[in-house]
Structure formats: structure tokens, C-alpha cells
Structure 1
């Protein structure tokens, strides 16, 4: 066992004690974060506009600072992008994480000198908590691969900008630099397909122990690796035993990954975003990810069912309940204030506070009031797959409101790795499972307002072709599980087996 592996264990124990301390006093931790944020931003333009100097309670904050999304915050962000200081947070940000928005065009999310360390610390702590829990630290001796965006950054008015994963690539600790893959040159390749091929060529003969990335894009890497070597990934990398992922739910991919790898491996789920690193899986035996309460972010929540009301009720962690679908709002030391990140979450535990990501507040189907969310379709598919010996590469769901004949229905676009013997049987099983997940949907089926869902089979690599056609192949780009319109559905229709 190397010195690095030996030192990892006491470091992991120290990290565990630190996390245990703030997780054990969550309300006090969040109250301190709240007060620090208000005090530090009091003399910024945003702070002056919203009278931060007069805010002494959470109720004052709610009265003065409304819920905002990026479009609402954009007038302030544009001033920061133009080079002004002290607008949303003291001084200028260190970076802008540039993301592609669906309604706002390109988004520029500020990352400050105060917020940047939290992105790095949370990812590190996730691994250390795993080491403390399992006692497994041998993987630190092998090579680690992180599938991420290009680290090449541009500069705009004195502030560097790029993809979040590319920015984070500049902060890989020195003790991991020798272990880290792919090479800097390969990481800088823009074309995702060319990049993955280059990564395969660079890594297939190495001793990889940790692989990290968004599951859909890691799957592409695994498939190319298997094609090149003719072996399961677990045989190519005999010491690979830890998969770290984020961005999407891993469960729909798990069976496929185990088939590609040839065995089960441990996994750690992360919840990073350009706006902040919100949570990570701190325990292999408990459901959910530990909400990061001490990372310069103050959290608020609104029940998703009432979010679009004129004045939805905002609450703090003090009043949340388990298994309720909430829109998560953050105020942070990056200069975001009561900011709607667009995700919905559910608490799986409040001692400590653990969450799962249940979907996107704008990604749902509710053509008839059913309000089906991402978590529900994923669970329904997973349940049906288990009984049908089916493997799915990718899927998305959209409403068919005006069918050529019959009642409206939900149309599921599925790319199968292993297709069912009878698609109609699978459709009915998914539909029954979805009815169990969502009582409104069940009422619409039983009331003959909707007919049971229908599956449209997408051709092999069809989803990749679609993502490539819209310029979002690879990196941090993710396909919505749900859409309330037919934009994605109409494009996938052209890539269906039945076309």
C-alpha cells in the first residue's frame, strides 16, 4: 500500500468529523451562512437595491428579495459581464460558467473567489467519505479518468469563461495530477466523438481504478472501449471499482453499465451545477445525497405544485418534509439571490438532510393536469424493465395531444439496447407502474381522458444523432426526460425504427 493510500484514511476520518459537526447542527449552520451572505453583499449594487443593511431576519429577506430565474437576474449579470465590480457580489467574479439555456440563450453564471473552493471541496469530500465508510483507499494508487468539457477558457472583460467542468479541470489537486487522465491535449479536443475516441486510445492500456462523468457519455466511452478491445470494461481495467457520476439518474443506466463492465462496481452520486455544488452521496447504504449546508449557499424551497401561484410560500430546511416535491432556490457567495436553479428535489431524510433530484420544474408533462415528473417516469421504466429483461440506452417522453385517431396519450421514445419480445406488453407494464406513481395520471386513464402510453422505438444511436444535430453532443449536455411539447419528439420521430 502506497503512502498516498495510507494517508487518505486519516484525512478521510478528519473530513468525516468535520461534516458530522455541521450536519449535526443544520439550522445553526444555515443561519450563519445566511447572515454572512447578507453582511458581505450589503454594499453591492444588488444589496443596496434590496436594502440588505436593514435585513435582520429571514422574513425581512423574503419581503425584499423575490424569486428570480436567470432571465430575471439578467440585468445585473449583464453589468457584471460588461466588467463592472460590486454588482451581485464584492469585486469581480473569477470566472463565468457559460451554459446554454433553452429560453435565455447563453447563460453566464458567476463563480467568485469565495464560491470556487466549494466546487472542489465537495467533490473531494465525496470521495473521502466513501473511503471512511468502506475503508477502501487502494484506488488512489491507480489512474483516474474524468470525462469533462474542454479546459480551454476565454477571457471577457478581465474574467475567464468556459464550461464548469473545464474550469474545475484547472483545480485538480497536485497529488492527483500524475493519476489524472486523459491528457491535457486530449481534454482540449472540442469534437466529442473525436475526443472519446482519443480517450479510448489513450487509456485502454492503463490501470484505471476510478471513472467519472455523466452516465450517458461514459456509456459511449465504454462502448467504444469494448469495440476496440473486444473485452468487457472490467477485464480491460481489472482494478476499476468506483464510478463517480452526476447530472442524471444512474438507475436507468445501471443494468447496461453492469453488462458493459461485466460486474458490479461501487458508485458515488454527485449534484454539481454551475450555480454551486449542492450535494453528494455520503453513504453507500442510505438513499439520497447530503445537502451541503456549510458551502456558502442558503437554501429555500417551494412546493412544486404551488410554484406557479402568484405568491408561492417559501420555506427553509427547518420546515421541509420528506417525499415532497420542492423547487430548490439558492442564495450564494457567487452572487445569486433567491435563484431558481430549475431543479426539483425531494428529501429522503431530514436527520441528516439528504435529497434526490426528482426532475426539472419546466420538464414535465401536464397537458391534462397530470403533472408527471422525471422521477416518476424513471421509476416506472425501471420497474417494468426488471420484469421484462429489457435494457434501455436512452429515452424521453412527450405528450401526443392530437393523435390521428383515438384518445391522446404519452409517447415514449426509447432506444433499446436489448429490445422486449413484445413492445405492447412493456408499454402496459410501464403504464401501470406510472399510474402507481401518479394518481392524477391514473384518474385520466380510468376516466378515458387519456389512453395508455405508446412506445416509439428509436434507431440505434438515434439519441446521439439528435444531440449532435442540435450541437449538444457530449460534455455536460443532457437530454430532458420529459417535455410538455413536441419539439424533441418530432425530431426523434424521424429517427424512429418505424419511420
Structure 2
């Protein structure tokens, strides 16, 4: 049944699609305009003065004056902004700081300005509208929508609001969605994740849920609670649930488990949001990759991952990138991040228009012996290995075992199964075959008797949740790293007796 709301959503969706295609079909010009605007708007800031923005007329000028920085390098400027100074990284003061927990820098304070904030909201909105325009499915706008996210409670520091990105964005839900949005404000403010999920189940069970959104690992926890409470599949409890919106991690390792929990397939939209900016979203159901947001006040540069640690790696614009190459993504934004390394690696799946997938983290890899295995490769290897079987994986991570009690070193896979394989060795062999096909360095190390084949260690059910809870990262936007170049996570899992 069509309502006025669903009909208007279709009209608005077609309008937005035309607007998106206008810049997507003119990518180089769009990025050049963004670049010029960024330099012009920030030339009188402290950062702009320190880096001679008034003399920057081209990308090569920018490269010569502004080096690539990570958060630690930019921290002296950020600390001045946090202290309340104005016109430091961007004109005026930020509206917010998105506070995140960094792996090397402790807490990070990522600025969000009045210019950058709308791009977060518009990209999330446009992702849904592009889906409506393509599929014609708009009936879900009349049902209830849940967004599993952090608490919207914000603190204040020197006149700037401080909180998690998802909590900040919660303050910008459009009025026409307020009545449909769940959970309630009170439930969303619950800090303890396990208590929060139970409260969300209480609130949503009686409702007509049509859209569910969140990081897959935490949505899975919500689905499992529903199964436990009702003894039914999620799709039977919520008969009109037909759209899952996710971001943060690759969905494919979770897909089989989700379809089992739901009881049927549902459409999905992948997002690529971060505190530093909303970078991309899935614009077509049948296309691999997400549409890179080229008109959102973000100027992108790309460095080939295998050149990143060179003394002077080449910094490319979108005009220079190629398909299926692993790039480190560098951004400059209307929030005052300049040539900033967010730590993600991406690959382009399409250049007309520019679509990307997230392939991993430049710091999340295994190269203890020069193999440089990345997140995308381990995810693909596991996906290949369980394809066509009834094996279901809840979560996994991989670490090097450099000094085993006997024999050659190896990669140790810690896997929590929902449905376990009949033969663990067979599964390990299938993963090994896929990984060797994808990564020639790894293959050479196996053939050269530097490494032995990978080994799987079972993690007990709920073990990864226990680990995340033990390090204070249960729920919200927190994600388990798929792989590490050390044994920190592996040893914690072992020491906490989370294996079996």
C-alpha cells in the first residue's frame, strides 16, 4: 500500500539521483573545485599561514607544502583547537569533536565543522534515496527504523560539543523520520552495550521494523537476542523487514550467518562513514563497490600501499588511479584535516563512476616475514573456503605465530564458529589455497619453507564479545581487527581462556 510519505520519498529520490549523477559524471572538475575551495577558505587559518596556502595554485604546489600526516603528526594543531583557540585548522571553531579511541594515540579528537557536518547527514540520506530511486521500494519509510549506535549524550569542552560520531549524528535525524526512528532517546543513552541491546529488543519486538542499521557484528548480537527471546527467525518476527544498512566492516563474512538468523535474504546498503568524513556509499544494488563522495568538501589523494613506507611516495589524484590497486587514502577536508592519513586502504572497482571497496587498514596487516597479507585477502580466503558449505563463522582474527613450540612459523587463525566444520584441517587447507592464490609473497614463503601452512584455533561461542568487553570496546562503532602484525589480541584471547 502506497502512502503520501512513500510517494513523496520516490519523487525526492529521483531528484537526488539527478543531482548525484551531475557531479559523479564530472569527477575531475568536481574535485578540482573542492580543492580550490578548501585552499581559499583556509588560507587565513594558522595552518594555512604555516603552509603558505596563498601560494598554492595546483596539486603539485600542495604536495610540496603540505606533507602527509596522521593524527599524531597533526596533534599539536588539534590540541590548540581543543584548548579553545580559533582559526587554527579551519576558520572559527568546530561545532563538535568526534572522540574516538586510537590504537596508537589514545583518544583522538576529530573536528566536525558547520561546513563538514551536513555532508555526513546528506550522504547517509542519499544512500537510502539512491536505493529507492533504483529499486522503486519506498514502502519501508512507513515502518520503524532502528540504528544501532553510540549514546547521543554530548559533553562540552571550551564551547565545543564532544561525543561519538554516531551520537552526534543522532541529533540530526530529519523530522520526517523522528516518529519512525528507534530506539527511544532514553534507550539510546544507555552506555552499557549489553543492557542497551536488551532494552532495544524490548522496544522493537512489538513494532513493524522495516529497516535495521549498524555494524554487522553488533547487529548480529541484536538478532541473536531476538531469536533467544522469541524462538523465531528475525524475518518472521519482523515480517516487513527488508533492508539492512551497514558499514564499518565487510558484510560478506557475516552474510550466511545473517541469512540464517533472518530466515531469508534482504536487500542491503553498504556505507563508508568515519569521524573524519562520510566517504562513500553503495549507489547500485548490482554493482560492487561504493560511490566515492567527490562533492562533499573532501579532496582525495591516493598512495599505493606498497609504496606508502617509501621515503617519497607518489601522491595521486582520482585522475591517476587504476582499478584493483591497493591505495592508502589521504584526505583534506572542510573540517580542517590536511593531507591526513585516515589509515584505511581502498581499491577502485569502477572509474566511471568512481567506486571503491575498503581493503583494510595500512596498520592492520601481517608482514612478519615480508608477506604483507591484508584484510581483504583474509576475508576473501575465508569466504572462498566456506562457500557452498554449511559452515558459519561468527567472527575471526588472524595473527602471526613467529616462535611456535616446534616447526616453522605460521599464520594462526582464531575463528568463532556458529556452525563448525566437520574437519578443521580441510577448512584450513581451503583457506590456505585461496590465500596463496591471492598473495604471491605468501606463496613464495610457503614454497621457500620460511612459513608452514596456516593453523586454525577455535574460539568459544561469545569469546570475541568477551574479549572486546575486556578491552572496553563492546558495541557501538568498535570493530575487531581482522588481522594484526603482532600477538597482542591473540595472546589476550589465549590468556583469557577464550579458545577451546
TM-score range, shorter chain: over 0.9
Whole-angstrom CA distance in 1 between matches of 2:304 and 2:494 = 34
Counterpart contact for 1:96–1:108, Cα < 8 Å: yes
Whole-angstrom CA distance in 1 between matches of 2:498 and 2:177 = 45
Q: Corresponding residue for 1:83?
A: 84
Counterpart contact for 1:414–1:455, Cα < 8 Å: yes
* 1:42-441 paired onto structure 2 within 5 Å: 42-441=43-442
Counterpart contact for 2:463–2:499, Cα < 8 Å: no
Structure 2 counterpart SS, 1:93? coil
Whole-angstrom CA distance in 1 between matches of 2:493 and 2:426 = 22
Across the aligned residues of Structure 1 and Structure 2, the Cα RMSD in angstroms comes to 0.7
Q: Could you list the runs of 4 or more consecutive aligned residues of structure 1 that deviate by over 6 angstroms after TM superposition?
A: none
State the 1:10 CA deviation.
1.1
Counterpart contact for 2:43–2:53, Cα < 8 Å: yes
State the 1:497 CA deviation.
6.5
Q: Corresponding residue for 1:34?
A: 35
Whole-angstrom CA distance in 2 between matches of 1:227 and 1:365 = 37
Q: What do the CA deviations read for 1:456-498 (whole angstroms, capped 9, x no partner)?
A: 0001100000000000000000010010000000011235575
State the 1:205 CA deviation.
1.0
State the 1:87 CA deviation.
0.1
Whole-angstrom CA distance in 2 between matches of 1:234 and 1:312 = 49
Whole-angstrom CA distance in 2 between matches of 1:497 and 1:455 = 14
Whole-angstrom CA distance in 2 between matches of 1:321 and 1:118 = 26
* Aligned residue-pair number: 499
Whole-angstrom CA distance in 2 between matches of 1:471 and 1:313 = 38
Counterpart contact for 1:457–1:496, Cα < 8 Å: no
With normalisation by structure 1, the TM-score equals: 0.99
Counterpart contact for 1:98–1:109, Cα < 8 Å: yes
Q: What do the CA deviations read for 1:125-162 (whole angstroms, capped 9, x no partner)?
A: 00000000000000000000000000000000000000
Q: What do the CA deviations read for 1:286-313 (whole angstroms, capped 9, x no partner)?
A: 1000000000000000000010111111
Q: What do the CA deviations read for 1:356-389 (whole angstroms, capped 9, x no partner)?
A: 0000000000011100000000000001011442
Whole-angstrom CA distance in 1 between matches of 2:497 and 2:314 = 43
Q: What do the CA deviations read for 1:271-292 (whole angstroms, capped 9, x no partner)?
A: 0000000000000011000000
Whole-angstrom CA distance in 1 between matches of 2:137 and 2:461 = 38
Counterpart contact for 1:462–1:495, Cα < 8 Å: no
Q: What do the CA deviations read for 1:186-235 (whole angstroms, capped 9, x no partner)?
A: 00000000000000011011000000000000000000011011110000
Counterpart contact for 2:16–2:129, Cα < 8 Å: yes
Whole-angstrom CA distance in 1 between matches of 2:152 and 2:132 = 28
State the 1:446 CA deviation.
1.2
Structure 2 counterpart SS, 1:322? coil
Counterpart contact for 2:463–2:498, Cα < 8 Å: no
Q: What do the CA deviations read for 1:31-82 (whole angstroms, capped 9, x no partner)?
A: 0000000000000000000000010111100000000000000000000000
Whole-angstrom CA distance in 1 between matches of 2:436 and 2:94 = 47
Whole-angstrom CA distance in 2 between matches of 1:150 and 1:35 = 36
Whole-angstrom CA distance in 1 between matches of 2:375 and 2:468 = 19
Whole-angstrom CA distance in 2 between matches of 1:316 and 1:36 = 16
Structure 2 counterpart SS, 1:341? strand
